[in-house]
Each structure stands twice: as C-alpha cells, then as structure tokens.
Amino acid sequence: MCEIINRQGGYLELTDIKAKVLIIDDDADIRSAIRMTLESDSGVNYSFTEAGDVASGLTALESTEPAVIILDLHMPGENGFDFMNKMKKEHSRSRSKVIVLTADNSIKNLLKAESEGVNAYQFIGKPFVNDELRALVLSLVLPK
C-alpha cells in the first residue's frame, strides 16, 4: 500500500481516500479516458458521474456533490463558462473544485474565467498528460 503523510503529520493510506468526480464533456471517449486515467491511480477510491452537456452536468452536480469537476470548455450549445456561471449562481455553496480540460488552454480563457469570478483551479490542455491529471485531482481530494 502507498502511504502519504497528511497535513496533521500522520500517515494516510491512499485507499482511505474516497472522492466523487463529475466529468462533463460532450465527447464520450474523452470522458472514458479521464475515468480510466483516474481509476489507474494507485488505490484512490474514486466514484464517477458523467455528463455530456451543461444541463446534465448541473443536474449531476446537485445530486452527487462531487469533490472535483473536470469540465470541457467548448461544447455544443452551452459551454464550460456557462456551466461555471450557473454553478456560481445556482450552487454557490458547492465546495466542488473545477478543473477545466480544454483544447484551448490559452491565457485568454484563464483571464476570462478569473474576470467572471469563476472558481477554476486549473486549466489543462487536451490531449492531457495522464500523470498531470492524476496528480492534480489527487492534490484536490487529499484531506486538508
């Protein structure tokens, strides 16, 4: 088993970490790749909910209260910015941390998100690097 030292100075088994992850992307293959990447993390117990559009993502957010949301920015119809703005207005008490996964990870999008007060923790480009995604998600679900 892999152990890590938690912030209180004690040891924590990765298998003790349970986290809900919501994946919102219009491409089912990308959703599957994200899920498989995170499932291959050594021992972390993730549960996944997937949505193919903003409306289903908001419904899933309400019903699952995920720790992490992995969000595609560019989808047909409403986009990732629409999701984040609705999340901010309709689910302001949500503690979910948003990772934006996009083919366009330009500084323009990061600045737009920040100017709109959107709570995105990281922008990651597509195609994503497996280890980078696993490490980022793990850092967000570790007990504080």
pLDDT digits (tens, 9 = 90+) for 124-136: 888 889 999 998 9
pLDDT digits (tens, 9 = 90+) for 2-18: 444 444 555 656 666 78
Query: Structural domains in the chain?
Result: 17-141 (3.40.50.2300)
- Sign of the Cα pseudo-torsion (34, 23, 25, 124, in order): negative
Non-local (6+) Cβ contacts of 106 within 8 A are: none
Closest listed residue to residue 23, CA positions, set 9, 41, 35: 35
Cα 108 to chain centroid distance, Å, stands at: 20
Q: Which DSSP helix (H) or strand (E) runs through 81?
A: helix 80-90
Closest listed residue to residue 72, CA positions, set 109, 37, 110, 24: 24
pLDDT of residue 12: 58
pLDDT digits (tens, 9 = 90+) for 39-77: 886 678 899 999 999 999 999 999 999 999 999 988 999
Cα 18 to chain centroid distance, Å, stands at: 14
What is the Cα–Cα distance from 51 to 58, expressed in whole angstroms? 9
pLDDT digits (tens, 9 = 90+) for 20-43: 999 999 999 999 999 999 988 667
